Structure 1
Amino acid sequence: MIDLHIRPAAADEAKTILAFWKEAAEGTSITDDVDGVARLITRDPEALILAESEGRVVGSVIAGYDGWRCSLYRLAVLPSHRRQGISTALLEAAEKRFLAVGGRRGDAMVLEANERAQHAWAAAGYHREDHWRRWVKPFV
């Protein structure tokens, strides 16, 4: 078992987090820049949860709550640290956060082509809802 510390991200870690996502996360987002990450942390300091081992970021999850929905994004673990309970610890922290603010259900964004992630979410007790589709419109 590795020594793991779960904590919220700090705004000055945006560059570190972006570099971590390039290595550990699947896909990219329109908000994958220093301003986007810093804005998230500034608006909701508890939303971006990191797993750290030996001073290095090894996992992340965004647990956003807008007063209505509990949204989960960017569950990612370094390839060298997978299958060690890190995503479980991150999701436990996210779910604890949601329960504390009165959240009732977590919704996760998972890429269709990312079968590994789909298995991980299913193992954590989440299920796919095929009757919904995501609709998006970039503003920039």
Structure 2
Amino acid sequence: MSDLHIRHATLPDIDTVLQFWREAAEGTSISDDHDGMARLITRDPEALLLAERDSVLTGTVIAGFDGWRCSAYRLAVHPDHRRQGIATALLEAAEQRFLALGGRRGDAMVLEANERAHHTWAAAGYHREDHWRRWVKPL
């Protein structure tokens, strides 16, 4: 994993990330557009983490914190790069961000039908709270 580089997204990354999500992420969100991403990056420049290998985008996660709740969104790894520890590295980077901000629990938004993702979150130490339909982990 020494050749994997994790960094914060910047405004020039928006189009690349949107294209990446069309290929690597399941489903879309109403905010998956240029304006939505620009708002995210402008409001919280450290929230969108990108994993790159040889300058190629291989994974993403949004690590948001509102002062009370830590939330992970858009964990995605390109299909050609899965099962190589990229999701684990992204989640570790997100959790380090949460801890540095004073977060005490991470919540993950995961599509109900995405069984592969459920296994990823469980392997990372998150557990499902069925009454909320979200995945959580004490930090």
1:64-102 superposed Cα distances (whole Å, 9 cap, x missing partner): 001010000000000000000000000000000000010
Q: How far apart, in 2, do the equivalents of 1:124 and 1:131 lie?
A: 21
Write the letter of the residue equivalent to 2:84: Q
Question: Please, what TM-score do these two structures have when normalized by structure 1?
Answer: 0.93
Q: How far apart, in 2, do the equivalents of 1:78 and 1:107 lie?
A: 22
Q: How far apart, in 2, do the equivalents of 1:13 and 1:39 lie?
A: 13
Instruction: Give the equivalent residue in structure 2 for 1:121.
Output: 121
Q: Which one has a larger percent strand, Structure 1 or Structure 2? A: 2
Q: Identity, % of aligned pairs? A: 77
Instruction: Give the equivalent residue in structure 1 for 2:11.
Output: 11
Superposed structure 1 runs of 4+ greater than 6 Å apart? none
Instruction: Give the equivalent residue in structure 1 for 2:75.
Output: 75
Two-structure CA RMSD over aligned residues (Å) = 1.2
Instruction: Provide the aligned length of Structure 1 versus Structure 2.
Output: 134
Kindly state the Cα deviation for residue 11 of structure 1 after the two structures are TM-superposed: 1.2
Instruction: Give the equivalent residue in structure 2 for 1:94.
Output: 94
- For the 8 Å contact 1:2–1:84, the answer to whether it is kept is no
Instruction: Give the equivalent residue in structure 1 for 2:137.
Output: none
Q: How far apart, in 2, do the equivalents of 1:2 and 1:75 lie?
A: 20
Q: Which runs of 5+ in 1 are unaligned?
A: 135-140
Instruction: Give the equivalent residue in structure 2 for 1:42.
Output: 42
Instruction: Give the equivalent residue in structure 2 for 1:138.
Output: none
Question: Please, what TM-score do these two structures have when normalized by structure 2?
Answer: 0.93
Instruction: Give the equivalent residue in structure 2 for 1:26.
Output: 26
Q: How far apart, in 2, do the equivalents of 1:6 and 1:83 lie?
A: 17
Q: How far apart, in 1, do the equivalents of 2:132 and 2:65 lie?
A: 20
Q: How far apart, in 2, do the equivalents of 1:120 and 1:60 lie?
A: 14
Kindly state the Cα deviation for residue 131 of structure 1 after the two structures are TM-superposed: 1.2
Alignment CA distance shift 1:2-1:23 (3 Å): farther
Q: Which runs of 5+ in 2 are unaligned?
A: 135-139
Q: How far apart, in 2, do the equivalents of 1:120 and 1:132 lie?
A: 19
